[in-house]
Every structure is written in structure tokens, then in C-alpha cells.
Structure 1
Amino acid sequence: MVRINVDWHLFDKEVPTGMTVMVFPWSGGAPHTVLTNEITHADFSLEPGKYRVLVFNQSTTEFGTLDFLGMDSYETARAVVQHVTSRWYLRGEDEQIGVEPEWLASDKLDEFDVSEDTSEVTLTPRNVLSHIQVNVKVPNIGYLYSARGSLTGISEGFLLGQGKPLQSKVTYLLESWTKTIDENDATQGTLKTSFKCFGLPETAHLDAENNKLSFSALLIDKKTQVDYQFAVGDKFKKDDNSSELGYFASLHVDVELPKPLPEVKPSEGSSGGFDVTIKDWGKPEDIDMEL
């Protein structure tokens, strides 16, 4: 009997209500699998020999945004985001739109010798998701009615046995933004959005063309739309407050529209200006608004 202890203290996102522990014979063959609500350990009856071990939170069927594929082999076991369609985004040939995944924590052991003297081993799962924030500086932001965008080239999933993101890629839609107005210039503002994902695929060198950020702005006349595309594969930066507990850093990418938004009249036909006098205006307060 061998006990696989599991220590979750490095997974700072949530407390699992269950876990999956898989022990793979070194020589191949079907894995020994335990699905349990007991998250501190799992017990296995194993023949002497070499094994590999995988552990992750919950069971494969408890995730609504992930598919688990190739789970009969340590080398191919992987979590892959599910795909969705969009009524407004026209994806290219072979392009897939990814779903934002639920929190996933995993750990692995590449070699584990079982003998008469072996009694237990400990694994420490960590968050395997990345957090990406997109910031878009918008001159003439007062003429903006709504915004949406997309970011290509994001990893489709995670190889559990290799501890790294897949090379296959998906696109994420950026449909929910918050707006911040520059405290020194009310005509300038920044839109921000963020999402969880499996990060960027490993690459030999950074290339701007690896990731394309598309941004569309609908103006306050509700009919004028301006579109922009940025090559940002070489512009990702690690956030200062990135958690070191995860496999990947939290990343952000910053762009600025090349010119101010066009000046248009509001859809009601008025100029949108005030014709009243206001006195005793209070101290300005910045408020984030979802568009």
C-alpha cells in the first residue's frame, strides 16, 4: 500500500471539494485512478516498480469549461478549453474561440519508485492558469459608446504530464470592458479587460505576429464603427503584483489608438452639451464603468 499525500497550500484560488489522483506504470498500461472527496491523500495498492503520478483538483466531469483528453497516457494527458461560436466575430479558417476556464491546479511526479520500503510521497498542486489584462488608451474617449475586441494566439490547454501549455491556439473574445478617465485630461481614457487562460504557447523567440489584438469602437451616434488591429506578440509584460504561486505570471499588454476617435453627434441628434450653469461642483471622483 502506498499513500499519495496532497498538499494544497500553494493553490490560493479556492479550496477543492475533491481531487483526481492518477498513477501511471512506467512500462505503460492503464493508470490507477482515484477520484475522491478526501483531498489530503489517496491510497493505492501497487506492485514494485517505477511509476508516474498526476494530481489535479476535482474530477474530469466536474468542469463545465474544460475537456480532458488523452488521459490514458502520462505523456498525452491534457486539459483543453471548450470552444464557442459568436454572432459578431468572424473567425478565420481553423480558428477556434476559447471559453474562459475554471480554476485548475495540478502537480506531477515524473518518477516514483515503489518498493517494500516505500510508504508515501507528497505532491503539491499549483494553479496552472494565467491571467491576461488588456489596456487600450483611447483619445477622445467621450465619443465612445461601446467596445469589443479579440486576442489571438492563446494556448488552447495544458499538458498535465509536462507541466506546460499546449502549442495549439485559440482566440479569446474581449466583450466586457471597464473605463477609466485620465484625471488630468477628461478627453483621454483607458479601457481595460482581463481573462483567465492557459497563457502563451512556448516559443523560441517573441514575435509580434504571434498574437493579434483586434479592437472595435462603436461611437455615440450608434452607427459609426472604427476598427483597429495591433500585433502584440512581443508586447506582453509581467505584472508587478503577479503571484509566484502559479506556473505562469500574470501578464498585461498595453496599446494606444493611433488617432483620436472621430467627433460625432449623439444618436438623438443633439450635441450632447449642457445648457445649464452648475455651481459648487464637488471633488472629482473616478468611477470604473462597464460598457
Structure 2
Amino acid sequence: MMFLCLVLLCLVVLFTGCERRALTYYEVTELHILVDWSQSGLAAEEENYGSTILFYPRDGGTPHIFQMGERTGETVRLPMGTYDAIIFNRSFNDFSNIAFRGDSYETLEAYARKVETRVDEVTRVETRTIISSPDELAVATLEGFIVTEDMLGNYSQTTYGRTAASRTAEEETDEIYTLRFVPKKLTRKVAAVLHIEGLNNIRSATCRLSGVAESIFLATGRTSANTVTQEFEPSNPEFYPGSPFNGTLSCHFEVFGLNYVDNNNLYLEALLVDGKTEFTSDCTNVKITENEDGTGVITLILKADATEKVPDVKPEGGSDSGFDVDVDGWGDDIHTDIPIN
């Protein structure tokens, strides 16, 4: 009798152990991530990069981070819990001029990687200056997504890591769950046009614009409270019709945000065609407006005038103008349209 009881006890322990091992196998659920970048407003070359998705547990645990080589979708696995998710283009290390900080969904922040603190020699006032335009950044979020117990174990080893299939949750008969994201651009493009009298005397130019945000929070799109100055280099000289002396410099650059409700200061610094004279000027009539392209992508239009005429100097090498080159060396004409409201 004692022997029979021992046998029954061993069988109970054995089957209980098997059941526990089976349950521990189903600790995660498999999710298809589908991403539609058509409304992101990103440049075409962004297709060469992947994307990153982070799932932050509501209980405060470590976020689950997935690097997606195929940016339009992949398959990931998550344990049971409630999550807030953020997806953005590229990986943390793929950006040249953006870095990241923050240890939670609410505090994940993209900030300018290349910032200098400069001291005015006369006033001794310190100014923080972004010296390289941020890369383009597009983001989508999802809050309060729940992985329940009955979602666990809905996969086989052969499906893991495949690109997500294009189907809706209602169409899923094999209990594979799909999350869909439509990222929108978080950085803003600025189209700058600077009107200059004496443009023919300028070899190169650098501008500094005040009122620019130094960072932005990915979850909310809120920019940093403190603003800095951002540096950019206008080029593309275009002379007014009938004038060989006066015209515009223009360029495009990215910002995290721009406080254009208040007055923005714009400062021009130029090297003239003699190769040694430096010209500086505060700009006036600084006007910033928005141009929406119909898909939700907003471009900021910046227009300003140089306060003073650029002085005439003798070009280095004896040419009549810094932009006077041999016509035979020119390539085909390239026409670039800058949207102006």
C-alpha cells in the first residue's frame, strides 16, 4: 500500500512538472507591426534605413526595444502587460545630428547632438548654438495597448521575424495580432530666403536664427521650454532680373521647433570675394509663415532682408565677381522651387 502511494505521488509530481513547463513556454505573444510611412513627409533616401519601436510597460519595467531592418513591418514578441509604444525612423545610432535621452515613455527626448556654447567678446553673454541641422525625424505612438493572458503562445518558430502580413485584426483567423502605425514628421523644414543688396560681393555666408527649440519629446511632440540659436548656411545665389548686384541666398534646413510668435533675430556673417573681408549684419523684416502641403506636412517659410549693403571689394584673383565663372564649366541648369506664401 505504501508503495502504491509513492507511485501515485511521483506521477502527480511528474505531470504537474510537465504542465508547468508547457505553461512557461507560452510567456509571450507574437505581434505583427505594420508601418505606413506615406504621410511622414520624409525624404526618399529614408527608405534606405530601418526603424525602431519601443514598448514601455505601464508598470515601469524596462522597455522592450526592437530594431526593424524592414521599416514597413516585422514581427515581435511581448510578454503579458499594458504598454505605451513609440516608433520612429532609423535606429538610435543612425542619426548624424540627433541624440536621445530619457528613461520613460513621457521623457524620451530627441535633442541636437552638435551644440556649442559661445561667449560674446564684448558683452560676455553666453549663447547656445546648434551648429548642424537635425536630421529628419518622424514618429507614431500607441498608448495603453494590452497583452492579455489568452493572447500568449499564438506563434510557431517558423513565423518569428518575418515581415508582417497585410491584414486586419478582423481577418486574423490564426490569432496573430497586428498593430498599425502611421508616423508623422516631428521636425520642421525651414525654407529660408535672404534678400541682400551687394550679393555679388559675397563668397560664402552663415546665418544664426534665434528662438529655435533645442529638443523635442517624441510621445507628445512638445518642444523644450528653453530656446537656442541655430546656425545655417544659405547658398544658391539668384540675382534679381536686370540686376547683376542684388539678389537672394536661400537654403533648406530642419528644426525641432521654432517660436515664431515673438520676434526672431537673424544674424548674417559673410566672407567677401576678396577672401579676407568679413561682413556682418543684423537682418530686418524677418517673417516666418507656415505652408501646409495638403498631407499634414508643414514647411516654415523664412524671409528676411540684410540691413546694410554689402561693401564692394576687389575679388581675389581679379575676377569681377565671386560668382563669375567660365560658362563652359557650367553644368545643366537646375531649377529649385521654394514655396513662398
Q: TM-score, normalised by structure 1?
A: 0.76
Aligned-pair distance for 1:77?
Answer: 0.5
- What letter is aligned with 1:17? Y
Pick from 46, 62, 75 the counterpart of residue 79 of structure 2: 46
Q: Does 1:184 align with 2:215?
A: no
Q: How does 1:47-126 map to 2 (within 5 A)?
A: 47-48=80-81, 50-70=82-102, 72-85=103-116, 92-93=125-126, 95-115=128-148, 116=150, 119-126=177-184
Cα 1:166–1:186 shift into 2, 3 Å: same
Cα 1:181–1:7 shift into 2, 3 Å: same
- What letter is aligned with 1:43? V
Pick from 198, 201, 219 the counterpart of residue 161 of structure 1: 219
Aligned-pair distance for 1:153?
Answer: 2.3
Residue 216 of structure 1 aligns to a residue whose secondary structure is strand
Give unpaired runs (5+ residues) of structure 2. 1-28, 152-174, 322-331, 336-341
Tell me the distance in 2 between the aligned counterparts of 1:137 and 1:30. 52
Tell me the distance in 2 between the aligned counterparts of 1:191 and 1:286. 17
Residue 164 of structure 1 aligns to a residue whose secondary structure is coil
Cα 1:184–1:109 shift into 2, 3 Å: same
**CA shift digits 1:180-239 (9 cap, x unpaired):** 0111333321111221222325xxx8110xx3210124444555443222377x721123
- What letter is aligned with 2:299? S
Tell me the distance in 1 between the aligned counterparts of 2:272 and 2:52. 49
Cα 1:221–1:26 shift into 2, 3 Å: same
Residue 200 of structure 2 aligns to a residue whose secondary structure is helix
**CA shift digits 1:116-149 (9 cap, x unpaired):** 4793321112332211122111123333343322
Q: TM-score, normalised by structure 2?
A: 0.66
Judge conservation of contact 2:270–2:280 (CA < 8 Å) in 1: yes
Residue 235 of structure 1 aligns to a residue whose secondary structure is strand
Judge conservation of contact 1:34–1:42 (CA < 8 Å) in 2: no
Q: How does 1:269-288 map to 2 (within 5 A)?
A: 272=320
Pick from 258, 266, 278 the counterpart of residue 314 of structure 2: 266
Question: Which residue of structure 2 lines up, in the alignment, with residue 18 of structure 1?
Answer: 50
Residue 244 of structure 2 aligns to a residue whose secondary structure is strand
Cα 1:260–1:287 shift into 2, 3 Å: farther
Question: Which residue of structure 2 lines up, in the alignment, with residue 215 of structure 1?
Answer: 268
Judge conservation of contact 1:265–1:272 (CA < 8 Å) in 2: no
Judge conservation of contact 2:131–2:232 (CA < 8 Å) in 1: no
Aligned-pair distance for 1:47?
Answer: 1.4
Judge conservation of contact 2:117–2:128 (CA < 8 Å) in 1: no
Aligned-pair distance for 1:62?
Answer: 2.4
Question: Which residue of structure 2 lines up, in the alignment, with residue 227 of structure 1?
Answer: 280
Tell me the distance in 1 between the aligned counterparts of 2:319 and 2:106. 63
Question: Which residue of structure 2 lines up, in the alignment, with residue 252 of structure 1?
Answer: 301
Q: Does 1:28 align with 2:60?
A: yes
Tell me the distance in 1 between the aligned counterparts of 2:305 and 2:69. 48
Q: Does 1:140 align with 2:198?
A: yes
- What letter is aligned with 1:244? T
Q: Does 1:6 align with 2:35?
A: yes
Cα 1:108–1:143 shift into 2, 3 Å: same
Cα 1:36–1:184 shift into 2, 3 Å: same
RMSD: 3.5
Q: How many residues align?
A: 265
Residue 62 of structure 1 aligns to a residue whose secondary structure is coil
- What letter is aligned with 1:6? V
**Bigger CA radius of gyration:** 2
Work out the percentage of aligned pairs sharing the same amino acid: 27
Give unpaired runs (5+ residues) of structure 1. 274-284
Large movers: runs of 4+ above 6 Å: 268-271, 285-288
Aligned-pair distance for 1:2?
Answer: 4.7
Tell me the distance in 2 between the aligned counterparts of 1:94 and 1:143. 29
